[in-house]
Amino acid sequence: MSVETLEPSEFSPRQNAVLEQALQLLVDGGEKALTTSGVARAANCSKESLYKWFGDRDGLLSAMIAYQASKVRTFERNGERLTAVSLHDHVILFARDLLEVLAGDVSLALNRLAIGQSHRDGSKLGKLLLERGRRQIDRRAMALIDAGKRAGLLRFYDADEAYHTLYGLIVSDLHVRMLLGEPGLKDTARQAERAVTAFLRLYGTEKVLAEMPALS
């Protein structure tokens, strides 16, 4: 199976530790530091293991991005029946994780690098960030929103529109400002709560709105 099709849950703890080292190398030293020799040395593993696990450098980057995106938790389909309270809690978890990941040094470094490479012919980092990063997060968050609708807790005609409303309420222009060097939020929990409360007031059914005083 190609690394491009692997989900982060399929990586072993040892592979995840290697990816963490690779991400830190990128933050500390930029693109030039991200070599197979450098990653192998930092992670105390062989280059042969890197090639076996992740393939070439693009495969390693793909795995790094997918692993980073997996830190934004959403909703696992484990048979759980959503309630107004559990829906709120799941969306809050997503919002907090999203803000913390986007504001982190790793995501900022990856995005700045992709922007810097955007003019280059054949540059794949921007595409990888979209396909293995943003779209992975979008897909899992959309599953939560769809589950909320099936449970009679959310109402909308267009799931994509509802999700992007939620994303906009959470992130606003914060990520752009942070990419330009502005410090991140001091209180991500408060921003997450405000965004989720606004989203549930817009899209929540009577079941959810009846719980809003307790949730807000």
Question: DSSP of 179-204, one letter per residue?
Answer: HTT----S-HHHHHHHHHHHHHHHHB
For residue 83, give both structure tokens.
């309630």
Q: What are the boundaries of each domain within the chain?
A: 13-70, 74-211
The three-class DSSP label of residue 35 is coil
CATH of domain 13-70: 1.10.10.60
pLDDT of residue 2: 45
Residues in the chain, pLDDT under 50 = 1-2
pLDDT of residue 1: 41
Alpha-carbon distance of 165 to 32, in angstroms, equals 37
Q: Which amino acid is at 186?
A: K
Burial of 202 (0-12, 13-18, 19+ CB in 10 A): middle
- Output the CA torsion sign for 92, 94, 97, 101: negative
User: How far, rounded to the nearest angstrom, does the alpha carbon of residue 141 sit from its chain's CA centroid?
Assistant: 10
* Model confidence, pTM: 0.86
From the options 1.10.357.10, 3.40.190.80, 3.40.640.10, 3.10.129.10, give the CATH code of 74-211.
1.10.357.10
Alpha-carbon distance of 37 to 60, in angstroms, equals 13
pLDDT of residue 36: 87
Burial 98-132 (b: 16+ CB within 10 A, else e): bbbbbbbebbbbbbebbeeeeeeeeeebbebbeeb
pLDDT of residue 177: 87
